[in-house]
C-alpha cells in the first residue's frame, strides 16, 4: 500500500499544470468557474489548443494520434483540467465513436473519420435513445432498410446532446425487425446534412438548449457508413458504453465544485458571521468532503487495476452511482450557500458576463446547475440500472 | 379533534380548485411570463389575478376587522395548498400575505385604506426588506432612514425583492437606530412606484415570477410614509413572516402533491422492458416513501397552521420552524425522486413536473432554508 504518486507521475502532473497555466485562456477558465456557457466557439477553441499540444486524445492508441498515457496519467490530466477549470472535452467523437471505429471500423473509415475528429472538422453526436427506448435501449425502433448501395432510415432519436452543433451522428438502427431485439441492430454513421433529417430543440428545465430531437424521414445513407457487420451493432454499442463510463466518477468536477461552495460560504454572511462557520452548513459540507475523499481512492484503486490491464467490472457502476450522488449533493450545497441569491434565473446578459452578477460570485448559476445536474443520475445508464447491474453480478453471480 | 375543513373553507377550496383546473393553460403560460424581461414586466397573469380576487382568494387572507372573511392559519393553508397544487406564480404570497399582514398590523386609518384595494385585486405590493448580507435574518438591516422636520430620506440597497416591478407600492425597511443585527430601530415605509431616487434592476426567478434589486438613492418621503411606530417594525415583520411561512409551507405541500400524482401516473403508463416501470419493486418502494413523506408534510402544515394564532409567539415560531424544516427535507426528496423516476422527460421545460420541482426546491430559499429552520427550532426549544 502506498497512497503517493511516483516521482514520474508527479513530474507529469507538473508538466500538465504548466501547460494549463500557459495555454488555457483565462476568460475561458473564468467562465467555466462561474458556470457560464462558452458556446460552440469556446469548445472548438479549446479542442484546437489541445490538438496542437497533441493531448486531445489521451485514450487513443498512438498509431491513431493518441498520446500513450496510462490510466493513472489520464486521471492526473483530468484532475488538473478540472482544477484549472478547463472546459470539458465534448466526448461524442473523441471518447465514444473513436474507440468503436478503432476496434470495429474499416481501414477506410478510420483513415477518413479519425483525423477529422482530431482536427475538429466533424462534430459528432450520439443517436441511441428514442422516445420509447431509454433504459430499454434494445427496444429501439428507428428502421434502416437496405436498398442497393444505401440504407433508407426512418424514425426518431431523442435527447441528442449538442446535436444542434453536430454535422455527424452515430446511430443505432434496426436492420432486422424479425431477429431477437439485440440481434437486429446496426451501427450507422449519418451525415446530418442529408435530406430528410430534422433537428428540433428540447429546452431543459433550466432553460438551456442542450439536447434535441432528431427526425429521420427517408434518409439515404451509403452502405459504406455501416460500422462493422450488419446486425452486430449491439456488441459495438456495449463496447462504447464501457468507454462512456470511464471518468464516470467525476472526482475532478466534485473537487472543483466543493472549492466553489467553500468560496461562496466564506463570502456569505449568516447571522452576522460567515456561513462557513455555521455548524449545520459546515457539517453538510464536511460530509460531502468525507464521501469524496473515500470515493477518490475507490476511483484510484480501479484506475490502477485498469493500468495493470484489468477491465473494470461492476466497479464502474459503483463509481457512477456514488460519483453522481456526490456531485448532486455538492450542487445542493451550492444552492444552499447562495441563500436568497439562488432564486434569480440568470439572464443571458449575466450568463455571458456582460452584466454584473447579482449575489455572491458564481451564485447566479447554482440553481440552474442543481436542476441541470439531476441528469447525471439519469443518463449514461440510470443509477437504477447501475444498481440492477451491481445486484445481478453480486447476488446472481453472473452479469 | 376534528381534522375536517369548515363548510366555508371547503367551499373555498372546491371553487378555487375548480377555477385553477379550468385555467390550467393560462397558469402554465404564466410560469414563463417572468422570463420575458421587457420593460414593466409583471411576471404573472393580471387576468388570473383579477379572477382570483373575484373568487375571494385575497379576502380569505384577512379577518373581518380588516375587511376580509378569514385570515386564520387554516384560511391561509386552504388557499395556498390549492395555489401550490396548480403551480400558480401569481404573487398572492407577497402582495396578499406578506405585505397585507404588515399593513393590517401597522397601518393607521389612512394606510389601512389600501386593504380594500388589495382585497378587490387593484393593488400590488412588495416587501423590500432583505439585503445582500442579511440572508434569512430579519434584524440585519443596513439601509438607513434619516428624518428631518418635514421629510424622511432613505438610502441603501435591497436584495431579491419579489414582485417589486409589479408593485404599486413598496414596503421598504430601513434603520433609524442601532447597528445592523439589532431588532430595535427598524422602521417600515410606504414608497410608491416611481418615487424619485428609487430604482429597480429586475430579473426573472427560477421558479417563475420576477424580483428586483432595489436601489434607494436619497429617496425623499413625507413623514406620513412611515408604517407603524418609529423603529418598532421587527415584531410585525416576525408576525408577517410567520403567516407567510405557513402559507408557503402549504403551497409547497400542494406542489408536492402534484409531483407525487404525476409520478404515480407516469409509473403506471411508461413502459420499458415490456412492462410499466411501476412494476419494478426498486421504484415501488421509493414511491411508497414519497407517499409517507407527503403525509408527514401534510401533518406538519396542520401543526403550523393550528398554532399561527397561538398567544405564545415562541410556540408559534417553533411549530413553523418544525414544519418548514420537515417540508424542506420531504420536499427535496419528493422533487428529486419524482424527477429521477420519470427519467429524461422530467428534465424538460415542457413537461409540467419541472415547474413543480422548481417551486418545491426554490421555496427553500425564502424566509429561511431547511438548516436555518432547524437552527430556529433548536434555539426556540432550548429557550
Ligand atoms: C440531459 C440528457 C442528455 C442525454 N444525452 C443523450 C445523448 O446524447 N444521446 C443519447 O442517445 N441519449 C441521451 N440521453 C438519454 C439517456 O440516456 C436516457 O434518458 C436514459 O437512458 C434513461 O432513459 P429514459 O429517459 O427514457 O427513462 P426510462 O428508461 O423511461 O426510465 C424512467 C425511470 O425508470 C427507471 N427504470 C427503468 N428501467 C428500470 C428497471 N429495470 N429497474 C428499475 N428502474 C428502472 C429508470 O432508472 C428511471 O428512473 C440523455 C438524457 C438526458 C437527460
**Residues of A with catalytic function:** 244
Distance A152 CA to ligand 1 centre (A): 27
pLDDT digits (tens, 9 = 90+) for B106-119: 999 999 999 999 99
Cβ–Cβ gap B135/A136 under 8 Å:
no
Per-residue model confidence (pLDDT) at position A332: 98
Q: Rounded to an integer, what distance in angstroms lies between the CA atom of residue B318 and that of residue B247?
A: 16
Single out the residue of B362, B361, B342 nearest to residue B352, CA to CA: B342
Q: Rounded to an integer, what distance in angstroms lies between the CA atom of residue A206 and that of residue A349?
A: 16
Per-residue model confidence (pLDDT) at position A245: 59
| pLDDT mean across residues, chain B | 95
A225-228 long-range CB contacts below 8 Å, 24 or more apart?
Answer: A225/A151, A225/A188, A225/A189, A225/A190, A225/A191, A226/A151, A226/A186, A226/A187, A226/A188, A226/A189, A227/A100, A227/A101, A227/A104, A227/A105, A227/A109, A227/A170, A227/A187, A227/A188, A227/A189, A228/A104, A228/A105, A228/A187
Question: What is the domain partition of chain A in residue ranges?
Answer: 7-101, 123-232, 249-394
pLDDT digits (tens, 9 = 90+) for B180-213: 999 999 999 999 999 999 999 999 999 999 999 9
Distance A296 CA to ligand 1 centre (A): 26
CB-ligand 1 contact for A135 (6 Å cutoff):
yes
Picking from B343, B356, B378 by the largest number of A CB atoms within 10 A of its own CB, the best residue to mutate is B343
Single out the residue of B168, B360, B110, B336 nearest to residue B248, CA to CA: B360
Residue whose CA is at the smallest distance from ligand 1 atom 29: A135
Distance B141 CA to ligand 1 centre (A): 47
Per-residue model confidence (pLDDT) at position A399: 46
Domains of chain B plus CATH, in order, are: 7-119 (1.10.540.10), 125-230 (2.40.110.10), 235-382 (1.20.140.10)
B59 contacts: CB under 8 Å, gap ≥ 6: B53, B67, B68, B69, B70, B119
A363 touching chain B per CB within 8 A: no
In the CATH hierarchy, which fold is given to the domain comprising A249-394?
Butyryl-CoA Dehydrogenase, subunit A; domain 3 (1.20.140)
DSSP states of B221-240: E-GGGEESSTTBHHHHHHHH
Domain A123-232 in CATH 3.40.640.10? no
Single out the residue of A199, A211, A260, A201 nearest to residue A30, CA to CA: A260
A370 touching chain B per CB within 8 A: yes
Cβ–Cβ gap A135/B133 under 8 Å:
no
pLDDT at B39 over 50: no
A133 contacts: CB under 8 Å, gap ≥ 6: A139, A140, A141
Considering only the beta carbons, identify the residue of A272, A281, A340 that sits closest to B130. A340
The CA-CA-CA angle for residues A364, A22, A262, to 5°, reads 35
Cβ–Cβ gap B348/A202 under 8 Å:
yes
In the CATH hierarchy, which fold is given to the domain comprising A7-101?
Butyryl-Coa Dehydrogenase, subunit A; domain 1 (1.10.540)
The CA-CA-CA angle for residues B115, B119, B124, to 5°, reads 80
Decide if the complex's ipTM is over 0.90: yes
Angstrom distances, CA of residue B237 to CA of A118, B114, B244:
61, 18, 10
B127 contact residues in A (CB cutoff 8 A): none
Picking from B36, B91, B93, B135 by the largest number of A CB atoms within 10 A of its own CB, the best residue to mutate is B135
pLDDT digits (tens, 9 = 90+) for B334-351: 999 999 999 999 999 999
DSSP states of B158-193: EEEEETTTT-SEEEEEEESSS-TT-STTEEEEEEET
CB-ligand 1 contact for B344 (6 Å cutoff):
yes
Query: Is residue B160 within 8 Å of residue B148, measured between CB atoms?
Result: no
* pTM (2 d.p.): 0.96
Distance A139 CA to ligand 1 centre (A): 13
A287 touching chain B per CB within 8 A: no
DSSP states of A209-228: EEEEEEEEEEEEEEGGGEES
pLDDT digits (tens, 9 = 90+) for B279-321: 999 999 999 999 999 999 999 999 999 999 999 999 999 999 9
Amino acid at each position: 500500500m502506498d497512497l503517493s504518486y511516483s516521482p514520474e507521475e508527479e513530474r507529469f502532473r507538473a508538466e500538465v499544470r504548466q501547460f494549463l497555466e500557459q495555454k488555457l485562456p483565462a476568460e475561458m477558465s473564468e467562465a467555466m468557474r462561474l458556470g457560464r456557457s462558452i458556446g460552440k466557439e469556446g469548445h472548438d477553441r479549446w479542442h484546437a489548443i489541445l490538438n496542437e499540444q497533441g493531448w486531445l486524445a489521451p485514450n487513443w492508441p498512438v498509431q491513431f494520434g493518441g498520446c500513450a498515457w496510462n490510466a493513472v496519467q489520464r486521471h492526473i490530466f483530468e484532475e488538473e483540467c478540472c482544477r484549472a477549470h478547463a472546459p470539458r472535452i465534448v466526448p461524442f467523437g473523441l471518447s465514444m465513436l473513436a474507440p468503436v471505429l478503432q476496434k470495429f471500423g474499416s481501414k477506410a473509415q478510420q483513415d477518413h473519420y479519425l483525423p477529422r475528429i482530431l482536427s475538429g472538422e466533424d462534430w459528432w453526436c450520439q443517436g441511441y435513445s428514442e422516445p420509447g427506448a431509454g433504459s430499454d435501449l434494445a427496444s429501439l425502433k428507428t428502421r434502416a432498410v437496405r436498398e442497393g448501395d444505401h440504407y433508407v432510415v426512418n424514425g426518431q432519436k431523442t435527447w441528442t446532446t449538442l446535436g444542434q452543433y453536430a454535422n455527424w451522428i452515430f446511430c443505432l438502427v434496426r436492420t432486422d425487425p424479425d431477429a431477437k431485439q439485440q440481434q437486429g441492430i446496426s451501427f450507422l454513421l449519418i451525415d446530418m446534412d442529408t435530406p430528410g433529417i430534422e433537428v428540433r430543440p428540447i429546452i431543459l428545465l433550466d432553460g438551456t438548449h442542450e439536447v434535441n430531437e432528431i427526425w429521420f424521414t427517408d434518409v439515404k445513407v451509403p452502405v459504406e457508413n455501416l460500422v462493422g457487420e450488419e446486425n452486430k451493432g449491439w456488441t459495438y454499442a456495449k463496447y462504447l458504453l464501457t468507454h462512456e463510463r470511464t471518468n464516470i466518477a467525476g472526482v475532478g468536477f466534485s473537487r472543483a465544485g466543493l472549492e466553489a461552495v467553500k468560496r461562496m460560504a466564506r463570502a456569505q454572511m449568516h447571522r452576522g458571521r460567515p456561513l462557513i462557520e455555521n455548524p449545520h452548513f459546515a457539517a453538510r459540507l464536511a460530509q460531502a468532503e468525507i464521501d469524496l475523499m473515500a470515493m477518490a481512492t475507490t476511483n484510484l484503486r480501479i484506475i490502477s487495476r485498469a493500468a495493470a490491464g484489468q477491465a473494470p467490472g461492476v466497479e464502474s457502476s459503483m463509481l457512477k452511482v456514488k460519483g453522481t450522488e456526490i456531485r448532486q449533493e455538492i450542487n445542493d450545497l451550492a444552492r444552499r450557500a447562495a441563500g436568497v441569491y439562488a432564486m434569480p434565473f440568470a439572464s443571458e446578459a449575466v450568463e455571458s458576463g456582460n452584466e454584473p452578477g447579482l449575489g455572491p460570485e458564481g451564485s447566479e448559476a447554482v440553481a440552474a446547475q442543481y436542476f441541470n445536474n439531476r441528469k447525471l443520475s439519469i443518463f449514461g445508464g440510470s443509477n437504477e440500472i447501475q444498481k440492477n447491474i451491481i445486484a445481478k453480478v453480486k447476488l446472481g453471480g453472473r452479469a | 379533534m376534528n381534522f375536517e375543513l369548515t363548510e366555508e373553507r371547503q367551499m373555498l377550496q372546491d371553487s378555487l380548485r375548480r377555477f385553477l383546473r379550468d385555467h390550467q393553460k393560462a397558469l402554465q403560460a404564466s410560469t414563463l411570463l417572468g422570463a420575458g424581461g421587457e420593460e414593466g414586466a409583471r411576471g404573472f397573469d393580471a387576468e388570473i389575478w383579477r379572477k382570483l380576487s373575484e373568487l375571494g382568494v385575497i379576502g380569505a387572507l384577512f379577518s373581518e376587522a380588516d375587511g376580509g372573511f378569514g385570515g386564520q392559519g387554516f384560511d391561509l393553508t386552504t388557499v395556498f395548498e390549492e395555489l401550490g397544487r396548480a403551480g400558480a406564480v401569481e404573487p398572492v404570497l407577497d402582495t396578499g400575505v406578506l405585505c397585507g399582514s404588515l399593513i393590517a398590523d401597522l397601518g393607521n386609518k389612512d394606510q389601512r385604506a389600501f386593504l380594500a384595494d388589495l382585497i378587490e385585486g387593484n393593488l400590488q405590493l412588495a416587501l423590500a426588506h432583505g439585503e445582500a448580507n442579511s440572508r434569512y435574518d430579519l434584524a440585519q438591516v443596513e439601509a438607513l432612514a434619516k428624518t428631518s422636520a418635514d421629510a424622511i430620506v432613505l438610502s441603501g440597497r435591497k436584495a431579491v425583492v419579489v414582485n417589486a416591478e409589479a408593485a404599486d407600492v413598496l414596503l421598504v425597511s430601513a434603520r433609524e437606530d442601532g447597528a445592523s443585527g439589532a431588532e430595535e430601530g427598524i422602521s417600515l415605509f410606504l414608497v410608491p412606484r416611481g418615487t424619485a431616487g428609487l430604482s429597480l434592476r429586475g430579473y426573472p426567478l427560477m421558479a417563475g415570477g420576477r424580483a428586483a434589486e432595489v436601489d434607494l438613492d436619497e429617496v425623499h418621503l413625507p413623514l406620513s410614509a412611515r408604517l407603524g411606530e418609529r423603529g418598532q417594525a421587527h415584531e410585525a415583520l416576525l408576525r408577517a413572516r410567520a403567516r407567510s411561512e405557513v402559507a408557503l409551507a402549504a403551497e409547497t405541500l400542494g406542489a408536492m402533491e402534484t409531483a407525487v400524482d404525476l409520478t404515480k401516473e407516469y409509473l403506471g403508463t411508461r413502459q420499458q422492458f415490456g412492462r410499466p416501470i411501476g412494476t419494478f419493486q426498486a421504484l415501488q418502494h421509493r414511491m411508497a416513501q414519497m407517499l409517507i413523506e407527503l403525509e408527514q408534510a401534510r401533518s406538519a402544515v396542520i401543526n403550523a397552521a393550528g398554532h399561527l394564532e397561538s398567544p405564545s409567539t415562541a410556540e408559534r415560531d417553533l411549530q413553523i420552524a418544525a414544519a418548514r424544516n420537515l417540508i424542506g427535507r420531504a420536499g427535496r426528496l419528493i422533487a428529486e425522486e419524482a424527477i429521477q423516476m420519470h427519467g429524461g422527460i422530467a428534465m424538460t421545460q415542457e413537461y409540467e413536473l419541472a415547474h413543480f420541482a422548481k417551486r418545491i426546491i426554490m421555496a427553500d430559499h425564502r424566509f429561511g432554508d431547511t438548516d436555518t429552520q432547524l437552527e430556529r427550532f433548536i434555539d426556540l426549544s432550548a429557550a
